[in-house]
Structure 1
Amino acid sequence: MEAVDVTKRFGATTALDGVTMRIAAGSTHALVGRNGAGKSTLVSLLTGLHRPDGGEIRFAGAAAPPAADRAAWRQRVACVFQRSTIIPTLTVAENLFLNRQAGGGPIRWKALRQRAGDLLDEYAVDVGPGTLAGDLDVEQRQLVEIARALSQGARFIILDEPTARLDATGIERLFTRLRALSATGVTMLFISHHLQEVYDVCDTVTVLRDARWVLTEPVADVGHDALVTAMTGEAVGLTSVEPRPPVPASVPPALRLRDLALDGAYDPLSLEVKAGEIVGVTGSGSSGKVTLAETVGGLRRPTAGSISVGPVGVRPGSVPAALAAGIGLVPQDRHREGLIPLLSVGENATLPIAGRFGPAGAIVPSRRRAVAEEFIARYDIRTEGPEAPVGSLSGGNAQKVVLARALSTDPSVLVLINPTAGVDVRSKESLLGAVRAAADAGTGVLMVSDELDDLRHCDRVLVMFHGRVTAELQAGWSDTDVVAAVEGVSS
């Protein structure tokens, strides 16, 4: 694939400015850059969703097909987006051959399931063709999408943040599949904000910054610091975190869990988070860490135990009760659980406090706008203004809106689930800085994350394994300590 001097404008905004990138056949090529750098726009050109205003796209030396010829595009390139395009109410077989169920005439369901089973076996996807797609986990959905793309003849696959919602074990399994595909000659463009993954799986890396090409180099020739500098234009080091002063033992707990349990997810556990303390929780996908956080936030009802904020008990299994008790939540999936896409940036950010903007349930727009503008400035949300649709934001800025909303009520407890997944380096700094500021102001923070860079900001880190807390690491831990505890082995 070649993108030669491509330019793309949307109104007065230049989304790509003379970008050239060449991807060698059979390679795994990384595309990195901060949110807003132009990655998504380039992908839209490479998949034929938009036409460049200047320059051209080529596949195997030939010009790209006309935009209207979708069949020709699908034979050349496929994209596995961060947000799944699998239709949950259809079976795996129906998704694999969507719009291709029959070559003409009625659908022969037995033959369709047989074709689907052969395809799944070919690419070692361990799901049944008759399984309802809505019952698949994130990893399985991604593998089904990859198999579907390859079955249409595409030998060039774009993977957009494929690991954003996978745990460490799932990521390694995915990487094993990607290496096997690469060995068969499949070409991949790998987009990720987790830079270590670039070094783990990619041959070459291209950096975009501010809609322009910055560099293309073999991964082995670009150090981590140099890569971050190319992305940001300045040196950024998330691994160097200023230690927080210890929270005094006399400080009362903001959050108290007593023998909290959820059958099939985690065993009875007790935990206290002091006011102003940041407690991290990590573990594998089956550890129960996400379910625990969702229980505290009111998304799940425990089968035993109690939750208290300060001295007051919280009615379990109720988001309104959790909000009323002073718990703010940043959920795992900002698209499905965190944002209302038809509302504006300002409406999303101020949703829990809308009752403050006028009498008797009425909202005075000027009051809401003033508060929204304050949030936009405080959390460095890059947007045209409070009235801009929240769907127009990049991933990092959308996550800032979710965090702003969680903090809008000045909560006593802030619960975060993978708060920096799928965001760029600078947005990570901004998000984690806001979390530290909330803790410094007295908010107790429970942060569930798989990212070591997130956990470095914690006063202590709990490691869960198969539903139990198996280790507690104080500040100053090493990466080896965390990884060994997560995997259930001694460091």
Structure 2
Amino acid sequence: MDQNAGKRMDVYLELSDICKNFGITKAINHSDFVVRLGMITGLIGPNGAGKSTMMKIITGVYSQDGGTVKFPTLKDGGGKYDTNSARDKGIYCAYQELSLCTNLRVYENFLLCTMSHTPFGKRGFRTRARAEAKELLDQVFPGNGIHVNSLTSELTMVQRQMVEICKAAAHENLKVLLLDEPTSFLPTERIGQLHSYLKKLCADKNIAIIYISHKLDEVEQICETVNVMKNGVNTEISDMQNVTKEKMIQLMGGEESLSHRPEKAVSRAKEEILLEIKDYSGKNLHHINLQIRKGEIIGISGLDGGGQADLLRAIYRLVNGRKLPDTKDMKISYVSGDRGKEGILPYWTIGENMSVASYDIIAPKGLVFPQKMKAFAQHWFDRFSIRAQSVDGEITSLSGGNAQKVLIARGLATDADIILLNDPTRGVDIGTKQEIYRFMREAKEEKKTILLFSTEDTEMCQCDRVCIMHEGSIVRELSGASINEQNIVQTAFEWKSKGDGGAQGEESGGPEKSPAPVRRILSNRAFIAIVTFAVLYGIICCMQPAALTPLGITLLYSSVVPLIFAALGQMFISIGGGIDMGNSMSVGLVNVIVATVVSANAGLGAVYLAAVIVSYGLMGLLILKTRIPAVIVTLGFSFIWEGLAVLVSPTPGGICPPWLKKFCTFSVLNIPGPILVGAVAALIAWWVIRRSKYGIVLNALGNNKTVTERSGWSAAAATFTAYVLSGGFVVLSGIYMTSVQGSGDYSSTGAFCMMSIAVFILGGCEFIGAVSSPVGVVIAAFAMTSISTLLTFLKMNTNLQQMVTGLVLIVAMFVKNIVYRNNACSTE
């Protein structure tokens, strides 16, 4: 029976004679590609064949060098075809290198892609988004165990891939859904759920799906047509009924034979025991007993979330840290399948990436000679047939499969006794897989030991023994003829049924639930700042009981408000992906503008202050466009701010306008001014970052600029906004500094840069990943001021106060890292 009978096969998108070159490399060479509504189309090919390039042309990320992109059923006015054009026409993609922002909550990742670009969201838009995200996740992956209010960083890789797929399918105007290696992390059960949903999506909504995968069994199972790419040329096969897996491999240029299983395993029971782990328990692992012998391949299998990857990491730490007997001279290497997070060094060349773990071989005496390193890298470059111009090429220029080859070459090149492979064939073509299997067998013959974890159960047939894990324990060991996919799957699901009665949420180690109250408190970014302030303020109150009165609080913390605003300004720049090394001088500039210009002419002064804010926005755009690190640009701007301050007021002077002094010192209901201002500042910053619609975009920008742009948002507009907000807080800091001092002196704010950074860090923020905590920053400012006050009460020498302040901060950061690390362990 014809699979396509009864379906509308309207051509929605037609790419004709497409060419795309990168230097001398022809990524796409005069190729055609047709997308039909209501059809699942496969796209296969070896690594470097041009699949990713074709996908990026379809999604508007790349523009073609030749050929045409047409939408026959649409009135297309022509013009430039880019990501926004693709989105307008309903084309969305779930990327292999997951396009998620880990600092956002799960439902916020959905919102980033689906919300309108109007300035403000409708009331209750977050509540609706949570419900819609949960509904779609449950529809596609029943029993997924994902709490949509959880931070994405807390999810397992399986759960992240589920979110990535659902996020791409969440758009109301969806017409074409591209799935790039959508099952690379998914276990068998989840793959079945996905395939069922995709078939239903095509049948019910007439959606076109492009399914890009190296798993040919899946392509054969779900696709109605398949496009085979080789050397940038695409060939479409419309009759899948007569196409076998062997035929697809042949079309891709591979061997027709699929027999890549090793010969019958020889018993290694008499081989020397290289490593023995007895009753080990650790992170997500319980009572592990494992003998590792020389010259064997040990598979680690089981349902995802069973602790397989944790076991590999634990073995690496135990051996590398010399925590087991007889490991003093043992070498171990680790190869991750998550090349983006744990693998490639993006600023290094291909050769440097391959050689980085082998310096003891390349330079045994500590001196690295470039020619020797290049020759070493060239050997592995040739051995793995990596498709690139040379070892001096950029690692980021490689296709996903070739980048994975580099990482595997790095691990094998170390001459390690034990090689840990964490899903090493994820996202590579079948030819490359066969190469990897061959290298594994060669290493085994050289008496090397390999521990292999793979999300593909069929790969376990490469192993001499297979340890099947469930909930952090090894529950069964298979060897010899008993190693087959049926036994592995049967054992995994038998233990799942015994352990939880079929409970859902195995990917997260349990059913969907919110974090425990104690863990929620400990994981709160403001926790360390609150504890630090409480301890310090408690000591001050014991020494000076008057510190408990409103007047006492006002006197103690009269200087905290300028620091609060300076630190919040630092926070907004960090959200934009930078650091402000010049805010001490910009605050000083505002200070002298207020004391000299505003006091004489409020209107002119307001223009000057507005110019400072706009200048901050332009500074952000300069950083974005030139790609010069923010630390350099802001440091350069610090001299500009200082020079302007000198021009405005060469010597200290001026006065704080009386109306401004009155405004800055007001109180309500006898609440001390510093507390009132700090609370309002924290509330405003919290609303902008945590509750406003555009706050989602700002957070996404600092975490993953590429994802932000793929979601249809302007990185330039978001950067400008973040820096303008920072400039606004800098102006507020300078205004309140004038109120505190009563005059203008730009040199009086010299310590604000380092102080604001210290407050920023103590408040639970991070310079990498756009992790922020407005409440934590405000409380940390009070804590920093408390340190100075306490040391003054103790009559400590002024020269020693900075040293003690630094020590207190180091202790607080040490505790912070322990708390966050332990919390992270409990969520993984």
SS in 1 for 2:494: coil
Matched, 1:216 2:237: yes
SS in 1 for 2:309: helix
For residue 707 of structure 2, what is the aligned residue in structure 1? Answer: none
Match of 1:482 among 460, 463, 488: 488
SS in 1 for 2:379: helix
1:349 maps to amino acid: M
Instruction: Report the more deviating stretch, 290-299 or 251-260.
Output: 290-299
Instruction: Report the more deviating stretch, 60-69 or 458-467.
Output: 60-69
Alignment map for 1:330-349 (pairs within 5 Å) = 330-349=335-354
Cα distance in 2 between the residues matched to 1:300 and 1:87: 34
SS in 2 for 1:22: strand
- Give deviations 1:381-424, integer Å, cap 9, x for gaps: 33322211111222222222212221232111111111111100
- Give deviations 1:159-202, integer Å, cap 9, x for gaps: 00111122223323323332332232222101011111113322
Alignment map for 1:341-360 (pairs within 5 Å) = 341-355=346-360, 357-358=362-363
Cα distance in 1 between the residues matched to 2:412 and 2:87: 43
For residue 200 of structure 1, what is the aligned residue in structure 2? Answer: 221
For residue 40 of structure 1, what is the aligned residue in structure 2? Answer: 52
Cα distance in 1 between the residues matched to 2:318 and 2:172: 39
Match of 1:277 among 288, 292, 296: 296
- Per the TM alignment, residue 22 of structure 1 is displaced from its structure 2 partner at its CA by 2.1
Cα distance in 2 between the residues matched to 1:142 and 1:235: 32
Instruction: Report the more deviating stretch, 110-119 or 198-207.
Output: 110-119
Matched, 1:435 2:449: no
Contact kept, 8 Å, 1:459 with 1:475, in 2: the verdict is: yes
For residue 446 of structure 1, what is the aligned residue in structure 2? Answer: 451
SS in 1 for 2:124: helix
Cα distance in 1 between the residues matched to 2:323 and 2:190: 31
Match of 1:460 among 465, 479, 482: 465
Match of 1:181 among 166, 177, 201: 201
2:84 maps to amino acid: A
Contact kept, 8 Å, 1:3 with 1:56, in 2: the verdict is: yes
SS in 1 for 2:345: coil
TM-score normalized by structure 2? 0.53
1:482 maps to amino acid: I
Cα distance in 2 between the residues matched to 1:101 and 1:336: 28
Cα distance in 1 between the residues matched to 2:221 and 2:152: 30
- Give deviations 1:94-118, integer Å, cap 9, x for gaps: 3223276565343456323324423
Residue 353 and residue 214 in structure 1: after superposition, are their counterparts in 2 closer, same or farther (change >3 A)?
A: same
- Per the TM alignment, residue 244 of structure 1 is displaced from its structure 2 partner at its CA by 5.7
Point out the structure with max Rg over C-alpha.
Answer: 2
Residue 488 and residue 219 in structure 1: after superposition, are their counterparts in 2 closer, same or farther (change >3 A)?
A: farther
Contact kept, 8 Å, 1:432 with 1:454, in 2: the verdict is: no
- Per the TM alignment, residue 152 of structure 1 is displaced from its structure 2 partner at its CA by 5.2
For residue 287 of structure 2, what is the aligned residue in structure 1? Answer: 268
SS in 2 for 1:241: coil
- Per the TM alignment, residue 31 of structure 1 is displaced from its structure 2 partner at its CA by 0.5
SS in 1 for 2:252: helix
Cα distance in 1 between the residues matched to 2:245 and 2:215: 11
Cα distance in 2 between the residues matched to 1:188 and 1:438: 41
Percent sequence identity over aligned pairs = 28
For residue 317 of structure 1, what is the aligned residue in structure 2? Answer: none
Matched, 1:291 2:310: yes
Contact kept, 8 Å, 1:344 with 1:389, in 2: the verdict is: yes
Match of 2:85 among 54, 65, 72: 72
- Per the TM alignment, residue 228 of structure 1 is displaced from its structure 2 partner at its CA by 1.3
Cα distance in 1 between the residues matched to 2:372 and 2:66: 44
Cα distance in 1 between the residues matched to 2:357 and 2:330: 13
Cα distance in 2 between the residues matched to 1:390 and 1:333: 15
Residue 382 and residue 167 in structure 1: after superposition, are their counterparts in 2 closer, same or farther (change >3 A)?
A: same
Residue 269 and residue 57 in structure 1: after superposition, are their counterparts in 2 closer, same or farther (change >3 A)?
A: same
Contact kept, 8 Å, 1:282 with 1:448, in 2: the verdict is: yes
- Per the TM alignment, residue 231 of structure 1 is displaced from its structure 2 partner at its CA by 1.5
SS in 2 for 1:23: strand
SS in 2 for 1:40: helix
Matched, 1:326 2:331: yes
TM-score normalized by structure 1? 0.87
Contact kept, 8 Å, 2:185 with 2:455, in 1: the verdict is: no
Cα distance in 2 between the residues matched to 1:103 and 1:277: 57
Matched, 1:421 2:421: no
Cα distance in 2 between the residues matched to 1:132 and 1:167: 22
Contact kept, 8 Å, 2:52 with 2:399, in 1: the verdict is: no
Cα distance in 2 between the residues matched to 1:51 and 1:64: 17
CA RMSD for the aligned pairs? 2.9
- Give deviations 1:220-251, integer Å, cap 9, x for gaps: 321111111112254241x4424166255432
Residue 270 and residue 143 in structure 1: after superposition, are their counterparts in 2 closer, same or farther (change >3 A)?
A: closer
Instruction: Report the more deviating stretch, 464-473 or 7-16.
Output: 464-473
Cα distance in 2 between the residues matched to 1:177 and 1:93: 20
Cα distance in 2 between the residues matched to 1:145 and 1:420: 20
For residue 151 of structure 1, what is the aligned residue in structure 2? Answer: 171
Cα distance in 2 between the residues matched to 1:145 and 1:233: 31
Matched, 1:137 2:143: no
Contact kept, 8 Å, 1:355 with 1:363, in 2: the verdict is: no
Residue 284 and residue 119 in structure 1: after superposition, are their counterparts in 2 closer, same or farther (change >3 A)?
A: closer
SS in 2 for 1:9: strand
Cα distance in 1 between the residues matched to 2:314 and 2:23: 45
Which of the two has greater helix per residue? 2
Give the number of aligned pairs.
474
- Give deviations 1:274-331, integer Å, cap 9, x for gaps: 11111112111032222111211229999xxx974xx5147xxxxxxxxx73111112
Cα distance in 2 between the residues matched to 1:300 and 1:25: 54
Matched, 1:161 2:181: yes
For residue 551 of structure 2, what is the aligned residue in structure 1? Answer: none
Cα distance in 1 between the residues matched to 2:83 and 2:451: 46
Matched, 1:15 2:34: no
Contact kept, 8 Å, 1:206 with 1:215, in 2: the verdict is: yes
Residue 487 and residue 232 in structure 1: after superposition, are their counterparts in 2 closer, same or farther (change >3 A)?
A: farther
- Give deviations 1:432-483, integer Å, cap 9, x for gaps: 1111111110111111123244222211222223333333222334432232
SS in 2 for 1:367: helix
Cα distance in 1 between the residues matched to 2:126 and 2:78: 29
For residue 253 of structure 1, what is the aligned residue in structure 2? Answer: 273
Cα distance in 2 between the residues matched to 1:473 and 1:104: 58
- Per the TM alignment, residue 40 of structure 1 is displaced from its structure 2 partner at its CA by 0.8
Cα distance in 2 between the residues matched to 1:250 and 1:100: 60
Contact kept, 8 Å, 1:4 with 1:21, in 2: the verdict is: yes
2:70 maps to amino acid: R
Alignment map for 1:309-320 (pairs within 5 Å) = 312-313=326-327
For residue 320 of structure 1, what is the aligned residue in structure 2? Answer: none
Contact kept, 8 Å, 2:337 with 2:422, in 1: the verdict is: yes
Cα distance in 1 between the residues matched to 2:408 and 2:247: 30
1:178 maps to amino acid: L
Matched, 1:51 2:63: yes
SS in 2 for 1:106: coil
Contact kept, 8 Å, 2:102 with 2:153, in 1: the verdict is: yes
- Per the TM alignment, residue 358 of structure 1 is displaced from its structure 2 partner at its CA by 4.9
1:442 maps to amino acid: K
Instruction: Report the more deviating stretch, 89-98 or 343-352.
Output: 89-98
Contact kept, 8 Å, 2:165 with 2:182, in 1: the verdict is: no
2:261 maps to amino acid: V
For residue 96 of structure 2, what is the aligned residue in structure 1? Answer: 82
